[in-house]
Structure formats: structure tokens, C-alpha cells
Chain A
Amino acid sequence: MIAHHPPLELLFDYAAGVSAESASLLAASHLVFCRECRDRVARIEALGGAMIDRLPGEAPAAGAFEAVLGRLDEPEEILPQPEFDAVTRTILPSPLRDYLNADLKDLKWRRRSLVHEEVPLGRTEDGAKLTLLKIHAGKGVLNHTHKGEEFTLVLQGGYSDADGHYGRGDVAVGDPSVTHRPVADPGEDCICLTVVQGPLHFTGLVGRIINPFVH
């Protein structure tokens, strides 16, 4: 069961089609796991349908209908779908693996401490920094703070901190004012996607946003 959802404004912007790339990726990836949020998005899309219906129309160009009719039977361009191995398909939801366009085994994990590793995934077009994080089974990462709005989506295993337990599909919202100490569930490494909003997205944030783990 999904216990932790992304904030409503993130789902709203996603449903309206106005969210930045990083937020879209996070929302779409969460939706793969969460029926409840798919339902929320569907309701907001219904608002979009009602809004469109009330819009005063702009007349189509002369001959527009004939032009469209003439193109209905054109062969559709079908883009080749990238293929991924079974492990990647099991762990990464489709929006994320399409974005990465790589199998998990081809990613280079970098050891950040005795208990956790990361794969830096660069920045999205809105400047948010994406990282895959792996905390070894049963281990705790020492206190750390978030220096910007940070979202964490659990992809494998789970972890607990002072706010509760986060399992597969759950989204944690990091708050710069809180330090926390996540401890991975025993038995399986915990793999998460972290999204740290970049300076381009929220104006007024000074300095580079980094996420140092203090040991």
C-alpha cells in the first residue's frame, strides 16, 4: 500500500501539463505504483476537459477539415521502443527507464560511504538534480539535511526515519529545516530516486544545491 504521496500541487501541475521535467518524471513514476494518485490526476484532467469545453472557439483555417480528413489514413510513424533487461524492468518504472535509456547494470554506482552509493544522473531541463541512491540493507545513513526542496521516490526495498516507513512507490518530501537519519529495511538494499529542485526552478534560492551526507 502506498502511504506517502507527492503534494497535490505537484499532481495538479502534472495533470494540467505545466510541470517542469523533473516534477513530471517524479509524478509519472509515482503514478505507476499508486492507484490513488492516478485517480487524483484523472479528476484534475476532468477539470481540464470541462475548462476546454467552456472555451470560446477559434475558427479553424479554411480547408482545415479536408486537410485533416486527407491525412487520417497516412501511415503512423512508430518510433522503435528501447528494450531493457528484466531487472531494470522490475525495479525502474517506465517513465524513469525511458528517461535514463540504460539498463541498471550499466550504471556506475559510486561509493559515498561505507553504507551508501549513488549514481549521479545529471540535471533535468529545469535544473533539478537527479540521483539514484542505494542504502545497504539494514544500514543507516548518518544525519543529513536537505538544502533545497527534495523528493525521494523509493524504487526497491524501503527505509524508516523519524517520519515513518517508506516503501516501494512512496514519495518523501525533504524539508530543509529537518535533519533525518534514514535506516534501510533489512534483507534488501534500498534504492531510491532523489530529485533536488535546482536554482532555476525556485527563484531566490542562493548558491548551489548540494546534498552532503555528514558522517
Chain B
Amino acid sequence: MNPGELVEYMRAARPGFGTGEPSLTAVMMNVAAGAPENPVEDRLCDCVEAIAAAGDRAAFAELFEHFAPRLKAFVMRAGADPETAEELMQEAMIAVWRKAASFDRSRASASTWIFTIVRNKRIDRFRRASRPQIDPAEVELMTEAVETPDMIVARGQAEARLRDSLTSLSEEQISVIRKAFFEDKSHSVISDELGLPLGTVKSRIRLALARLRLILEPES
């Protein structure tokens, strides 16, 4: 049974499956943030939560249908052959299942959370050194100020608006960002490859992040 068929099967077996309203928390977060509604993303978040709460395989099938092709494409863009990309995608999807309990929709969308999973899989596979791990308990201990609800809402807002504003980037800005995220290239590598001074690459990325309202930087 492929994921699409499983979803259809579950919809037949459990009326209302996959068509449910977004959870109350999500709606309130969006209202509070004045963010545009994003039913697809809300649904994906619901799926991760259903896995965490009840080991819901149909929810997993939905996530697989949405993310597996994207994750495979993501790994291939970084230069992996299709077999390796397939393998890493499968490992990442298994990690989604196992780590579902650590997902917190008030902190990140399902797409963002899954991006961090596949990013770390890519690092662990292609680098000798693995990704440094930060112990969450320690973070609470060592940081003086806790995150206020305002800050979490502000981030939710930034994330919701982000998707709409991606089109406002110039071709130059989007190309350096694409190289970083998809081609596994750092600032200095991008600078070598494009024959641009490092400062130019830095300012293109800064301007792009400012335009997307991901950072507060004057566009100077």
C-alpha cells in the first residue's frame, strides 16, 4: 500500500480523517500573530502530534507523502546520488517517527522541524565530524532569561509570513540562499564559486534575511 492509498483507506475507515479543523492552539497562535492561515502546514503539524500522541501510522503516511519526495530532492541537490538520497530520506522519515514527541508547534512548523532532521542526517553522512549536540536541559540552566510568549508569537508570525515574502527576493539573493541550503555551501565556498568578494556574499544574505523579516537589519 503506498502512502496515498493508506491515506485514502484511513479516510474511508475513519470519517473526518485528514479533513479536521486545525487545532485550537494553532488557530490562536495565528490569530494572535495576525498571520495568514496555512491549512496545509497546520495539517502537517497535526500529523506529527498524532504520531507523538498515539503512534498514528495513517498520520505518518500523510507526512511521508508530503515530505519524502522533498527530502530526497533536498539530499540530491547537495550532490548525493539517488541511492544515497533515498537512504538518507528513509532514515530521516524514521527519525520523524521516533522524535515526534520532541516536536513543538509553538516553536517551529513541521516543515522547519523536518528540515533540521534531514539537515543533521546530511551532516552526519557527509562530514567526518557530526553535528554538535546541544543538551536542552542545559540550555534552560545556563540562560538567564526564558523565552516570553511574545517572542514565540513573533517567531510564528515571521515563519507564517516568510512563505509569502520569498518571492520578494532578488534573483541574486535567492541564488546565494539556495546554494547554502541546497548545495551544502558555506559563505566562503559560495564566494569562491561565484567569484564574488566574501563581503558581497555576506551582504546579499543579510539583505535577503532582512527583507524576509527574519532579522532586524537596516537595508543599507
Point out residues on A near B: beta carbons under 8 Å. Answer: 1, 8-9, 12-13, 16-21, 23-25, 28-29, 31-35, 38-40, 42-61, 64-69, 71-72, 76, 93-95, 98-99, 124-125, 169, 201-203
Contact = CB atoms under 8 A, between A and B. Distances in A.
A46 B119 CA distance: 13
Given A49-B115, A55-B74, A57-B72, A9 B134 contact: no
Interface of B: 1-3, 6, 57, 60-61, 64, 68-74, 76-77, 82, 85-86, 89-90, 93-94, 97-98, 107-116, 118-120, 122-123, 127-129, 131-135, 138-139, 142-147, 151, 155, 158-159, 162-163, 166, 177-178, 180-182, 184-189, 192, 202, 205-206, 209, 212, 214-215, 217
B86 A16 contact: no
22 contacts: A18-B185, A21-B128, A28-B133, A33-B143, A39-B151, A42-B112, A43-B158, A46-B108, A46-B158, A46-B159, A49-B113, A51-B115, A53-B111, A53-B163, A55-B74, A57-B69, A57-B72, A65-B3, A69-B57, A95-B133, A169-B142, A201-B188
Nearest to A201: B188
A124 B69 contact: no
Q: Is the interface of B mostly helix, strand, loop or mixed?
A: helix
Given A45-B112, A57-B68, A98-B133, 14 more contacts: A16-B119, A16-B180, A34-B143, A39-B147, A46-B158, A48-B119, A50-B111, A53-B163, A55-B70, A58-B72, A65-B6, A72-B94, A94-B138, A125-B128
